[in-house]
A and B are shown apart, each in its own frame.
Chain A
Amino acid sequence: MATDYTYAVARIRSKELSLLSGHDIDSLLSLQDYKSCLRALSDKGWNFPDNCDISQVLSIQTEELWELMDELVKDDNSFDIFRIRNDYHNLKVAVKAVTRSVSPDSMLLKHSVYPSSQIVAALENRDYSQLPDVLQEPAKEAMASLLQTADGQLCDIIIDRAALEHIYRLGTESDNEFIRQYAQLTVGCANIKTAVRGFKTAKNGEFLKKALCHCDCLNVDALAAAAIKGIDEICECLSGTMFTSSVPYLKISISDFEKWADNYLNSLMQEQKWDPFTIGPLAAYILGKEKEITAVRLVLSGKLNGLSESLIKERLRDMYV
């Protein structure tokens, strides 16, 4: 029987009232300094102890987000698509820390699908069978490549591609349209960014084929071939796909393309505002809250480092509410 999300969505509708809007972020940006921003956030209902740093302020919000989601969607792996990124990040950290004999603890991320301690222990013992099935192959391959070539970038590519393949698989397996679109957009954008960076750093076809992840939204072989030739050829590859409207932004810079991707995702999220029964609004809330946390991180870091308002604003994206 399909899971009923009526209660969870109704609760999320109330919770959305406490999300920061674009106007709230603008107000935050116009404040004098870091401390005034913290006071404003506190007035908006953000809880944090006195004299805590940015990472503590933000990690409390992340904790609260996942506590709420665990409460609303019990015994469900529907949100693995958003958490699995952290597992692959932890795998990357563990591989590099183990080969360099340093402690990975400070770099590990919480809110992952599998415990980070399990990943670290498996790599320390070189016992890949201790790892979850999906992480075994990328862990073996990344470890072997790092030990043989000492090429950190190659190690990152192996794990990043495995992460994208996993996200794509979770997306295609989902029965929710929004989650499927999210997976397509995530994988497609990652492929385009890899192609552009590959061209700028003059990577060969073999490297690009290894780095790009197969997806239905793009012709990956054509993209790899175009990435050897130039940006215009990459843009040509995007015509007729869901990324057609990103071409003018991609021609300017990767950061403009990233801004397009974030705003495109935001437009998909907006459609979830009038769906009362599916998991879509919960997924949109997770992404909306993550956007909010990213925006607040940008503003607080900017204020702390004395960056100008316009410079911070350039990097801000449209908010969910």
Chain B
Amino acid sequence: MMDLGLFFAVLGAAFATFFAGIGSAIGVGKAGVAAAGVLTEDPSKFGKVLIFQLLPATQGIYGLLVAFLILSNVGILGEPKDVTLLQGLLYFASSLPIAFAGLFSAIHQGKCSVAGIGTVAKKPDQMGKAIILPAMVETYAILALLISILSVFGVANVNM
């Protein structure tokens, strides 16, 4: 049962990294394609479009952070610990908010960044406004990250 608990905890860490990472890869990739289109015509906008491309990258980092927390709490990183089946399942459940909110928010933030890149290509002076719109999508990734982190710490502090 201890082994199964550890398995689910690691599965949770894998979910957080894998799904949030996929979302970021898609979002950053889409924004990168649009950025390349603008740079072909106007290389001087590199700095501006790079910021838009990096916006959807954060979800992958959030997933990584949650995975690190889970791995260190269950003893995969650092001192070995006993993990019950229930604890393992709870760690797995803790990873789900950032895994799925990260996946979808990164994809949609990427689309929003593409639109922002189009705005900056035509109106570079509207950079501030254009960046706020994709940044709003980040809110939901942050909310998911918060719940995942609180849950991971909560599971670690619960005696079972």
Do A10 and B30 have beta carbons less than 8 Å apart? no
Q: Is the CB of B33 within 8 A of A10?
A: yes
Q: Is B117 close to A, CB under 8 A?
A: yes
Contact B122–A10 (Cβ < 8 Å): no
A7 and B34 contact, Cβ closer than 8 Å, known pairs A14-B121, A17-B122, A276-B115:
yes
Given contacts A276-B114, A276-B115, contact A6 B37 (CB under 8 A): yes
> Most A CB atoms within 10 A — which of B30, B41, B42, B111?
B41
**B114→A10 contact, CB < 8 A:** yes
B51 to chain A, nearest CB (A): 15
Q: Which residues of B contact A13 (CB under 8 A)?
A: 37-38, 117-118, 121-122
Q: What is the interface of chain B mostly: helix, strand, loop, or mixed?
A: helix
Chain A residues, CB < 8 A from B157:
none
Minimum distance in angstroms from A274 CB to a CB of chain B:
7
Within 8 A of A (CB), among B28-63: 30, 33-38, 40-42
Q: Which residues of B contact A9 (CB under 8 A)?
A: 34, 37, 118
Chain B interface extent, by class? 10 to 19
- The answer to whether B114 and A14 touch across the interface, beta carbons within 8 angstroms, is no
**Could you tell me the distance in whole angstroms from the C-beta of A269 to the nearest C-beta in chain B?**
15
A16, B114: Cα distance in complex, Å: 16
Option from A7, A8, A10, A274 in Cβ contact (under 8 Å) with B121: A10
Instruction: Indicate which residue in B33, B42, B111, B115 contacts A7 across the interface (CB closer than 8 Å).
Output: B33
> Within the assembled complex, what's the spacing in Å between the Cα atoms of A175 and B106?
27
| Bound CA span A118–B122, Å | 42
Contact partner, B37, options A14, A16, A17, A274, Cβ 8 Å = A14
Q: What would 13 more interface pairs be, CB under 8 Å, given A13-B121, A14-B41?
A: A7-B36, A8-B37, A9-B34, A9-B37, A10-B36, A11-B41, A12-B37, A13-B38, A14-B37, A14-B42, A17-B122, A276-B115, A277-B111
Chain A residues close to B by CB (< 8 Å): 4, 6-17, 274, 276-277
Return 18 A-B CB contacts under 8 Å, by A number.
A6-B33, A6-B37, A7-B33, A8-B37, A9-B118, A10-B36, A10-B38, A10-B114, A10-B117, A11-B40, A11-B41, A12-B37, A13-B121, A13-B122, A14-B121, A17-B122, A276-B115, A276-B117
- Shortest beta-carbon contacts, A-B, top 9: A10-B37, A14-B41, A10-B34, A11-B37, A13-B121, A7-B37, A13-B118, A6-B33, A276-B115
